Amino acid sequence: MVSLKHTIVAQVEDKPGVLARVVGMFRRRGFNIASLAVGYSEVPNQSRMTFVVEGDDATVEQVVKQLNKLIEVVRVSDISEQEAVYRELALVKVRANPQTRGEIVQLVDIFRGSIVDVGPDTLVIEVTGDENKINSLYELLKPFGVREIMRTGRVAMTRGLAGARASEGARVRRNGTRNTKMSEKSESIL
């Protein structure tokens, strides 16, 4: 059994309690969320959730099926096998004295990050990239003394029109009605 990190993107209704219901479904089914990022989408009153789930193909298939059963979920896609752009944002607070600041700034420049706060004995660094880039910078900063780190988790978007085309199809709900609001709005955007 091969356990890989899969990226699942869900378009959900932007209503109170939706996040709790989605996370509750993961908990009840025993699925582990390695990363979760949620934010507004291009469609009014809908949010996009990006999950990173560790497991084999059967586990991920089950996650997608269970998410599709939730009324507030408009669309779910496992984009792990698709051409996609993956990014993560990290803020890192690191100890810095006058002797080490220059070296830290050089490292941050190499990783195309930026210094967003300067304190008497710390720097706060912002860096965006894939998981490996964030991990690499973190490892290089550890010898200076990392005081805090905050990571957003993975956000992802398919390249080209792949994601836009997927939103054109409506999905049948449990009660037999079709969710056509999403497809009508997507068509007007395209």
For residue 186, what pLDDT band results from cuts at 50, 70 and 90? very low
Q: Is pLDDT of 164 > 70?
A: no
pLDDT value of position 185: 38
Q: Which residue has the higher pLDDT, 106 or 166?
A: 106
pLDDT value of position 190: 36
Which DSSP letter does residue 82 get?
S
Burial class (CB in 10 A: 0-12, 13-18, 19+), 110: exposed
Residue 190 and residue 83: Cα distance in Å, rounded?
Answer: 20
Across 160-177, average pLDDT: 45
Q: Which residue has the higher pLDDT, 178 or 18?
A: 18
How many other CB atoms sit within 10 Å of the CB of residue 182? 20
Contact 82, 190 (CB under 8 A): no
Structural domains in the chain, CATH included, are 1-81 (3.30.70.260), 85-151 (3.30.70.1150)
Contact 154, 88 (CB under 8 A): yes
pTM score over 0.85: no
DSSP letters for 136-184: HHHHHHGGG-EEEEEE---EEEESTTHHHHHTTS--B-TTS-B--HHHH
Question: For residue range 47-66, what is the model confidence (pLDDT) as tens digits?
Answer: 999 999 988 888 889 999 99
For residue 3, what pLDDT band results from cuts at 50, 70 and 90? low
Residue 122 and residue 25: Cα distance in Å, rounded?
Answer: 41
For residue 39, what pLDDT band results from cuts at 50, 70 and 90? very high
pLDDT value of position 167: 41
pLDDT value of position 5: 87
